[in-house]
Amino acid sequence: MICGIDIGGTFTRIGAVDETFTVHDLQRVKTSEIADDFSAFLKAYVKTHPSIHRIVMGFPGVVNPQTHAIVKIPNQPALERLDIQALGRALNLPIDIDKDTYHLFRYDQRKGDLLNHLNLLGFYLGTGLGHVMYLNGQIHYGDDFAAAELGHQALKHGEKPCPCGLKGCFETVVSGHYLAHLHETYFKTVPFDDLFRQTVDSDHRDVIDTFVDDFAFIIASQMHILDVRHIIIGGGIPVMKDFPKVQLVDRIHVHLRKSHLIPANIYFSENPTEQGVIGAAIAGYEKE
């Protein structure tokens, strides 16, 4: 079995995944509670699951899957000190690492029956804004494995600080972080989970409309630049109750500047909790 690990900005999920991509003993812990001693956490899990023969981990930031270096994890900097090669030697198991969104993408590619598309873009709106550029049949990693950091792109130099250290990143206006800020500022009396449902007639609904429109603009820009009509929209926000999917799709079409990209072919990910764990295992089994 392959041990799949999905290290999120907020929660980490771990499970043992068999060849039919069924997860056994899925566990969820707060990332902040294990970030300082991740090795101990992983060793304890592996010890109780002797059938594990490989480990695949997804990180919420930039990592180098070839050298196993963890380059930048803005939301959990403690993880940048993790020595993957030493960990692999200590456990006597091969360990592969990649960006978490690439594992979510691999899951959606199968689940959405999208494996036959040579060009496909993924947009994952969760705590941050994750992106995948799958071009000519493979993920585009870039020169230093830091491609597709769309959430840290900027239209112009805004002043809002981002956890990554830069200012004015897209994530400062399109992310779960920012949505939590809107909730706190305008809709405090509404439960966060009901944010989209209960604010339809609110006087402040325009801030939600702007949030959706900004997300649509970013998606349409990438589709335009890369000339790709097939996309995946995933992450924890689009699966919230009454997330305005129709409005998002309409706004994407408004912002698209090439008629042949319309209608966009959009697959909305179901974003099950074990998605990153299974996606990590898919990447691992593909190597074998």
Binding site for Zn ion (CB under 5 A): 152, 162, 164, 166, 169
| Shortest distance, position 150 Cβ to Zn ion, whole Å | 10
Whether cis (ω within 30° of 0) applies to the bond prior to 238 is no
> Which phi and psi (to 5°) does residue 67 adopt?
-90, -10
The nearer residue to Zn ion, 137 or 142, going by C-beta atoms, is 142
Q: How far is Cα 151 from Cα 169, in angstroms, rounded to an integer?
A: 6
Q: How many CB atoms lie within 10 A of CB 67?
A: 12
The nearer residue to Zn ion, 169 or 173, going by C-beta atoms, is 169
| Shortest distance, position 62 Cβ to Zn ion, whole Å | 12
The nearer residue to Zn ion, 170 or 196, going by C-beta atoms, is 170
The nearer residue to Zn ion, 71 or 166, going by C-beta atoms, is 166
Q: How far is Cα 69 from Cα 62, in angstroms, rounded to an integer?
A: 9
| Shortest distance, position 171 Cβ to Zn ion, whole Å | 5
| Shortest distance, position 224 Cβ to Zn ion, whole Å | 22
| Shortest distance, position 152 Cβ to Zn ion, whole Å | 4
CA distances from 100 to 111, 238, 245, 268, 283 (A): 17, 18, 24, 18, 11
Q: How far is Cα 230 from Cα 158, in angstroms, rounded to an integer?
A: 31
* Tokens read off for 92: 């006597």
The nearer residue to Zn ion, 104 or 169, going by C-beta atoms, is 169
